[in-house]
Amino acid sequence: MTDNPLYSFPITAIDGSSTNLAAYSGRVLLLVNVASACGYTPQYRGLERLHRDHSPRGFAVLGFPCNQFGEQEAGTEQEIQQFCSLTYDVTFPLFAKVDVNGEHAHPIWTWLKQERPGLFGTEAIKWNFTKFLVSRQGEVIRRYGSIDEPAAIERDIIAAL
């Protein structure tokens, strides 16, 4: 495992177990703040396709539900997991709800924003389905906005693999 802080931040899996991202060290990652009742929610379909198509080569999508934008992720972790599974057949890892902005922002998201600020150097996440592509070494390669469809990111994922 690398010394990269990304892999050591404590995180809670969607099932409530405590973990970190150490198991993903050496993989290309796409970390996404997700929501079940957002106009961008259909991106789950494309994210799942990316995960299934490229996981054999060392890629993973990691979903972090967030209720900070229009309260579009109001359900419990169990409801979120059920929705993702039944509606979009999501198999990529999901984690417990997190804040991505503000004083209670999860340390992973604070770190990601510092590593790759957004437009004009702003760190704040603007909306659901913001995505961060991370190299096998844990370096943030690129940040994508909500409007960036998963298929449009695929070329960068392939290059990182």
- Residue for token digits 């004009």? 120
Please indicate, yes or no, whether the overall pTM of this predicted structure exceeds 0.85: yes
From the list 38, 60, 94, 157, the catalytic residue is 38
Q: Report the distance separating Cα 152 and Cα 131, nearest Å.
A: 12
Q: 3-state class of 78 per DSSP? A: helix
**Is 66 annotated in the active site?**
no
- Residue for token digits 């494309």? 46
- Residue for token digits 């109001």? 74
- Listed as own residue / partner, the contacts of 145-150 with beta carbons closer than 8 Å and 24 or more positions apart are 145/118, 146/40, 147/40, 149/43, 149/46, 150/43, 150/46, 150/47, 150/49, 150/50
Tens digit of pLDDT per residue, the chain (161 long)? 457 889 999 999 999 999 999 999 999 999 999 999 999 999 999 999 999 999 999 999 999 999 999 999 888 999 999 999 999 999 999 999 999 999 999 999 999 999 876 666 667 899 999 999 999 999 999 999 999 999 999 999 999 99
> Domains in the chain, ordered, with CATH?
5-160 (3.40.30.10)
